[in-house]
Amino acid sequence: MELAAIMNESESIKDWIIDIRRELHRFPELMYEEHRTNALVREKLDELGIEYEFPIAETGVLASIGNGEGPCIALRADMDALPIHETADVDFKSEVDGKMHACGHDCHTAMLLGAAKILSGKEIQGTVKFLFQPAEEGGAGGQKMTNEGALDDPEVERIFGLHVWPRMPTGQVGSRAGSFLAAASFMDIEVRGVGGHAASPHFCTDPVLASSRIIDSLQSIVSRETDPLESAVVSVTAVNGGDAHNVIPESVAIKGTVRSLTMEGLRRLQTRVSEICELVGQANGCEVDVAFPGNDYPPTYNDPGTWDFAKGVAETLIGAENVNELPPVMGGEDFAFYTQKTNGCFVVLGVNNPDKGCVHNVHTPQFKVDEDALPLGAALHVSFALESLNE
CATH code for position 197: 3.30.70.360
Contacts of 151 (CB under 8 A, 6+ apart): 74, 145, 159, 338, 341, 342
Selection from 93, 130, 90, 135 nearest residue 114 by Cα: 130
- For residue 210, the SS3 value is helix
- Angle at the Cα of 185 from the Cα atoms of 83 and 38, rounded to 5 degrees: 45
pLDDT digits (tens, 9 = 90+) for 321-352: 999 999 999 999 999 999 999 999 999 999 99
103: CATH: 3.40.630.10
Q: Kindly tell me if the per-residue pLDDT of 264 is higher than 80.
A: yes
- What pLDDT is stored for residue 180 in this prediction? 98
pLDDT interval class at 121 (50, 70, 90): confident
**How far is it, in rounded angstroms, from Cα 82 to Cα 86?**
10
**How far is it, in rounded angstroms, from Cα 15 to Cα 22?**
10
**How far is it, in rounded angstroms, from Cα 74 to Cα 94?**
30
- What pLDDT is stored for residue 2 in this prediction? 87
Give the E-state strand segments of the chain in sequence order.
Answer: 51-56, 60-66, 72-78, 127-133, 158-169, 173-175, 178-181, 183-192, 196-197, 232-240, 247-248, 251-260, 287-291, 300-302, 323-325, 343-352
Residue 97 and residue 176 in one domain: yes
Kindly report the three-state secondary structure assignment for every residue of 306-341: HHHHHHHHHHHHHCHHHEEECCCECCCCCCHHHHCC
Residue 163 and residue 286 in one domain: no
Alpha-carbon Rg for the chain, nearest whole angstrom, is: 23
Residue 176 and residue 74 in one domain: yes
> 196 with 383: CB under 8 angstroms?
no
- What pLDDT is stored for residue 1 in this prediction? 55
CA of residue 343 relative to chain centroid, distance? 18
- For residue 111, the SS3 value is helix
**Which of 225, 260, 291 marks a domain boundary?**
291
**How far is it, in rounded angstroms, from Cα 294 to Cα 105?**
20
- Burial (Cβ within 10 Å: 0-12, 13-18, ≥19) of residue 60: buried
> 33 with 59: CB under 8 angstroms?
yes
Residue 10 and residue 111 in one domain: yes
pLDDT digits (tens, 9 = 90+) for 187-217: 999 999 999 999 999 999 999 999 999 999 9
- What pLDDT is stored for residue 391 in this prediction? 84
Q: Kindly tell me if the per-residue pLDDT of 37 is higher than 90.
A: yes
Selection from 75, 168, 146, 66 nearest residue 114 by Cα: 75
**Which of 291, 323, 352 marks a domain boundary?**
291
φ, ψ of residue 14 in degrees (nearest 5): -55, -45
**How far is it, in rounded angstroms, from Cα 118 to Cα 12?**
10
Mean pLDDT of 120-149: 97
Residue 150 and residue 198 in one domain: no
Percent of the chain with pLDDT over 70: 100
Residue 74 and residue 155 in one domain: yes
Residue 63 and residue 137 in one domain: yes
**How far is it, in rounded angstroms, from Cα 343 to Cα 3?**
23
Quote the number of domains for the chain: 2
Give the range of the structural domain holding residue 151, as residue numbers without chain letter: 3-182+299-390
Residue 171 and residue 217 in one domain: no
Residue 133 and residue 7 in one domain: yes
Residue 218 and residue 357 in one domain: no
Residue 324 and residue 262 in one domain: no
Selection from 119, 144, 184 nearest residue 59 by Cα: 144
- Angle at the Cα of 119 from the Cα atoms of 16 and 24, rounded to 5 degrees: 35
- What pLDDT is stored for residue 386 in this prediction? 97
**Which of 243, 266, 291 marks a domain boundary?**
291
Residue 247 and residue 324 in one domain: no
What rounded mean pLDDT belongs to the chain?
97
